[in-house]
């Protein structure tokens, strides 16, 4: 078993035993390798950001929280290379860009050759001109969190003329158009659906208040983006 396959197998072995920890000696026996090899593999998983942790003392060992990881997905080499490049090429102003870049790094770390070489070569041949100034990092992170958690967001927003206002909004989704990203939300301040260009959000404060659920298509109805459609990439295979 090569190292990439063993790393995947280690994660699955820990997931199967969770929450009970497994000792390095047991894992080494399971994969018929030296304990030093298992230690290096476990440290590599930790460095890659997986929630693998060690506990000391009687009954200790290595364990993983299965709720924070996904089971392995069998990509073809072409699919893995394409995903790595697409994630790595995500622009800084794109929502969830930071998560996309760390996902690309994790995927690249476990790609076997020649898929890894293909991904590196493709990534070098994809370039982009600088776009509009990216939104304030903390504001963008607050928008991303509110969308995922379904909570109300307090925004400070500058319109096209530079006039600033404060809004209390209930996020519904994101829209990309004309090279820009917009937060589509129900604006409590205006009591209507509104679009907020992400690079014009100057501050965003998260709240713990649950937001109402709003139909994205309904909020876009009657606007220039009324014909916007979800990406088909997540349709069932």
Q: pLDDT tens across 65-78, in order?
A: 867 666 666 777 77
**d(Cα 62, Cα 41) in Å, to the nearest integer?**
12
Lowest mean pLDDT among 67-71, 93-97, 219-223: 67-71
Is residue 95 within 8 Å of 78, Cβ to Cβ?
A: no
For the whole model, what pTM was predicted?
0.64
- pLDDT tens for 17-67 read 888 899 999 999 999 999 999 999 998 888 877 888 888 888 789 998 867
CB proximity list for 169: less than 8 A, separation 6 or greater: 152, 153, 154, 155, 183, 185, 186, 187, 188, 189, 194, 196
**Largest Cα–Cα distance in the chain?**
67
Closest of 197, 176, 83 to residue 133, by C-alpha: 197
- Nearest residue to 144 via CA among 107, 177, 96: 96
Instruction: Specify the residue for token string 């994790």.
Output: 106
β strands within the chain, DSSP E? 52-55, 61-64, 151-158, 164-177, 180-187, 192-197, 201-210
**Residue linked to tokens 């989704």:** 173
């Amino acid at each position: 078993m090569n190292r990439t396959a063993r790393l995947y197998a280690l994660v699955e072995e820990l997931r199967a035993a969770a929450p009970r920890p497994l000792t390095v000696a047991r894992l080494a026996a399971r994969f018929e390798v030296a304990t030093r090899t298992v230690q290096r593999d476990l440290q590599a998983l930790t460095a890659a950001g997986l929630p693998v942790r060690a506990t000391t003392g009687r009954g200790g060992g290595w364990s993983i929280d299965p709720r924070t990881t996904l089971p392995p997905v069998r990509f073809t080499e072409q699919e893995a290379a394409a995903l790595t490049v697409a994630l790595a090429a995500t622009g800084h102003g794109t929502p969830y860009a930071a998560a996309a870049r760390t996902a690309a790094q994790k995927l690249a770390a476990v790609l076997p050759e020649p898929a890894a070489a293909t991904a590196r070569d493709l990534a070098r041949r994809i370039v982009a001109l600088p776009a509009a100034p990216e939104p304030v990092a903390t504001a963008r992170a607050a928008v991303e969190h509110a969308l995922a958690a379904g909570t109300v967001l307090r925004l400070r927003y500058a319109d096209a003329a530079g006039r600033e206002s404060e809004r209390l909004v209930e996020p519904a989704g994101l829209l990309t158009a004309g090279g820009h990203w917009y937060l589509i939300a129900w604006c409590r301040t205006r009591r209507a659906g509104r679009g907020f260009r992400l690079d014009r959000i100057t501050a965003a404060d998260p709240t713990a208040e649950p937001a109402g659920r709003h139909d994205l298509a309904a909020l876009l109805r009657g606007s220039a983006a009324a014909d916007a459609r979800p990406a088909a990439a997540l349709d069932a295979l």
